[in-house]
Every structure is written in structure tokens, then in C-alpha cells.
Amino acid sequence: MQRLKLHADRLFPADPGVRRIAREIYDEVCGLPIISPHGHTDPAWFATNAPFGNAAQLLLQPDHYLLRMLYSQGVRLEQLGIGAPADPREAWRILAENYALFRGTPSRLWLDWVFAEVFGLDVRLEGETADLYYDRITEALESDAFRPRALFERFGIEVIATTESPLDTLDQHRSIRESGWRGRVVTAYRPDPVVDPEFEGFAANLSALSVLTGENCHDWRGYLSAHRKRRAFFAAMGATSSDHGHPTARTADLSSAEAEALFGKIVAGDFSEGDAELFRAQMLTEMAAMSQDDGLVMQIHPGSFRNHNAKLFAVHGRDKGADIPTRTDYVAALKPLLDRFGNERDFTLILFTLDESAYSRELAPLAGHYPCLRLGPAWWFHDSPEGMRRFRRMTTETAGFYNTVGFNDDTRAFLSIPARHDVARRIDCGFLAELVAEHRLELDEAHEVARALSYDLAKAAYRL
């Protein structure tokens, strides 16, 4: 068995002098509370506070990073308990026997942190230790100290946001509120199922939205009114943001008559791919208008070809590791929306990307000018050490630090949240240490920026 040990200086710059500076800055921020403003954790965890189950259910099966790597090496998802019954111990053994596949990946960093810091394991995960890991983790999950609320408090989470569809009744969030527990779990408005005409079940979703709101969602004005009602309900339940996972960042600003005519085609089911894209573009602008009225911070997550593996999607559905980045335009795509709202100081639009080539060419210049824009520095594929470094190097000179929103742990794996924040804080402290060593930033300023990136910016941008 090989020893599992987390080096105290991991991810800091290799130069000894710069590393000392990074360590000093990190020591000031490593214990700050966690602001988790965007994620996909299940509110039912905190509503019921039921035990998590076993190692495979908690750490393997919900994690699309793990699924996609194992699938790429020939492991069938059914073997892991996805879409078919499987012995969870055997599913875990498959992960253990293939754990070497994750060398050099952020998944390895996150999981090793969880194994060592949360469960106290001191040997590496491999085939020989699979049962040791499974038994230790599963036994721990049966204790009260490892229930969701206890871990929330242990991890120092100040607030966490989940994402729900407008069709969600938010019963789990209501249960959390009524339970008397003091942990803060809020929702976010994710309207994709009733905004994207190409979303599976879109027509049925419109009917369900009509029933839920008492509005005729097959009429343009009734449809917009239904969104306003649901947004107000979400805000009353704690939401401070909306979240939009469109294929592109395209926006449009049609006249009322043009928008109504387009919606008629969408409702009738007589639309082309171009019509669907134009409707999504118009709805981003409509959502920006609603944000201007109700104060919800707006997030756009474009540039993902979702469910790229058609066969896998047909069998297993969404979020199984087959979302692939695409090239994304922002300058032209966002102009109709920015022409209307770009200069508004009370409106906040947070931009994410999976297209790193847009960082310095488009995103940093846009955010470095428009008062409404902020950059979300981490999203899937880029919530990694090298992705974080590239983001800071490519955006800081133009947008600065204060036009970004700290760190976003876009995760379904609850136990990896503190691990991800630790990685982000280490990378940012390393970057700041380099600026100090090069006499581009004073040490006291670096300490201030480190706190902002670790805590203050996310809390302020998301109005938490």
C-alpha cells in the first residue's frame, strides 16, 4: 500500500521565495467561510438530513467527471450502477482499480482531499485498498457526524445555492426553512426547460407552467407573466440569481409584435433550428429585463454541446459526462442585450465560458468596460488548477480582479465543495505571490485581494 499524504505546499509556485509568499497569503484565507453561489447539490439532502448511503452512491455515481473518464476507458456506466442495478461495492472497486486514470486531473486532487481530510484515510485508493475505503467511508456515513447538515457546518459553508426549474415547487427548500436548522440553502431560477424549445418535453413543460401559475403559457403575454410569477416565488424562497444554460450567448431585442409572432411558431411546434436559437436569444433579453425589475443576478453558461453522445443520452439521459465545449462568441452575441442594459449599475450579468480563447479577446474587455458585467472564473473543464491560472493570467490585466466573482464550485458532489475552494484559494494565492515577487503588487494589497477572491466578491456579486 502506498501512503496518501497531502503536501502542505501543494499547488504553490515551485520557486522557494514565491512559495513562501503564497503560503503567507494562503494562511490568511484558508479558513474563511465558503460562499457556494452556484451548484447542483440536492436540496433534499439538507431538508431530510438523511444519511448519504454508501461510498459509491455519494462519491462515484453523481460525479460526471468520474463517469466520463471511466467511460472513455471502456467502463460501461451500467457497471457503475447508472441506469441498471449494480453492487455498490463492485462499482467502487472499478473506480479503485482505475484510479490511476485520474493522475494529473482535478478529480484526483479533490478526491484525495476528501479521502484524507474528511475520512482520515492515509493510504492511496487502488484495487488493494478498495474494500478498506468502501467500508471506512460507508461506516462513517452511517454516523450523525456525516449527515448532510453536520458536514455543511463542519465545512464552514456560509451559504449554498442550488438550481431548480420553474416547475419545481421548492418543497425541499420550504422544509429546510421550517426545520429550524440555521444552515442557509437558497435556490436559483433555472428556466431552461421552459425557455429552450429544443429541451425534451418543452411542450408539456409549457402546459405544466400554465397549471402552476394560472397563466396561459401558450400566449406570449401570459407566458412572460408566468415567468414573473415564478421568479417572484423563487425570490421569496431565497433565490438571488437566475441561471441560463444556453448553447450560445446570442441575445436579441425583437419588437413586441416580432416576439409574439416568433412565440406563436414555437408554441405551434412549427419552428426551425434558427427559430429556436432566436427565441432563446430573445428570452435572455427578456430575462435581463425581469432582472432589472426584481433584482435577481443573471448568469449565462453558454458554449456547451450538451448530451453530445446521442446513444448515451438515449439510454441514460442528461449529465453523464457527454457535454463538450464549443467555440463561443460574446462581443456580437451580447450586443442587443448590452445595448439595453449594459450601462445599468443595478443589474448584474455574470458570464461563464467553456471557450478559453474568449478570455482575453472578448470577455475581459467586455467586463472591463460594462458596469453590469462580471466574469465567473470557474466552470466545468476550467475549475482546475491550470484552468484557474490561465483565467487569471488572461483576464487580470484588462478586467482586474474586481470585475470577477471569486470562485464557483459547479458541482453535484457535495463533499468536493471544500476541496474545490481550497484548490481555488491556493491557485489565487500563488498568482498573487508572483505579482508580489515581481513588485507588481504590494504584500498588503495581495492579502486584501486574496480575501476578496476567496469570500467577498462572490458574496457581493450574488447579493448574499
The predicted model gives 400-424 an average pLDDT of 94
375 located within any domain:
yes
4 located within any domain:
no
Radius of gyration (C-alpha) of the chain in whole angstroms: 22
Whether 428 contacts 454, CB under 8 Å: yes
The predicted model gives 49-57 an average pLDDT of 97
Pairing of strands 324-325, 304-305: antiparallel
Cell of 65: 467527471
Q: Could you tell me if 436 and 340 lie in one domain?
A: yes
163 located within any domain:
yes
Residue 101's CATH number: 1.10.2020.10
Q: Could you tell me if 354 and 410 lie in one domain?
A: yes
Q: What is the pTM of this model?
A: 0.96
Could you report the per-residue pLDDT of 88-122, keeping only the tens digit for each? 999 999 999 999 999 999 999 999 999 999 999 99
7 located within any domain:
no
375: CB partners within 8 A, 6+ apart: 350, 351, 352, 363, 364, 367, 395, 399, 403, 404, 405
Residue ranges making up the domain that contains 238: 16-52+147-461
Task: Answer whether residue 377 shows pLDDT above 90.
Answer: no
Q: Could you tell me if 214 and 311 lie in one domain?
A: yes
Note the pLDDT of residue 319.
Answer: 84
Task: Answer whether residue 378 shows pLDDT above 80.
Answer: no
Rounded to whole angstroms, the Cα distance separating 281 from 5 reads 49
Rounded to whole angstroms, the Cα distance separating 433 from 450 reads 10
Rounded to whole angstroms, the Cα distance separating 456 from 464 reads 10
Note the pLDDT of residue 413.
Answer: 87
Pairing of strands 324-325, 349-351: unpaired
Domain end marker among 146, 171, 194: 146
Number of domains in the chain: 2
Rounded to whole angstroms, the Cα distance separating 304 from 301 reads 8
Q: Could you tell me if 435 and 328 lie in one domain?
A: yes
Domain end marker among 110, 126, 146: 146
6 located within any domain:
no
Q: Could you tell me if 91 and 165 lie in one domain?
A: no
Residue 307's CATH number: 3.20.20.140
Task: Answer whether residue 425 shows pLDDT above 80.
Answer: yes
Q: Could you tell me if 178 and 220 lie in one domain?
A: yes
**Which of 174-183, 203-212, 408-417 bottoms out in mean pLDDT, i.e. has the lowest?**
408-417
